[in-house]
A = this chain, B = another copy of it.
Amino acid sequence: MKATVSRHAHFNSAHRLNVSKWTDIENKEYFGPCNNVNFHGHNYELIVSLTGDIDPVTGYVYDMKELSDLIKNDVESRLDHKNLNLDVPEFKDLNPSAENISKVIYDWLRPSFSSKFTIKIKLYETPRNFVEYFG
Contact = CB atoms under 8 A, between A and B. Distances in A.
Given A59-B95, A59-B99, A130-B6, A38 B14 contact: yes
Given A19-B58, A64-B129, A129-B7, A134 B40 contact: no
A72 interface: no
A2 interface: yes
B7 A103 contact: no
**Chain A binding surface, main DSSP class:** mixed
Contacts of A19: 57-58
Interface of A: 1-8, 10, 12-15, 17, 19, 21, 30, 32-34, 36, 38-43, 45, 49, 54, 57-61, 64-65, 80-83, 86-87, 94-100, 102-103, 126-134
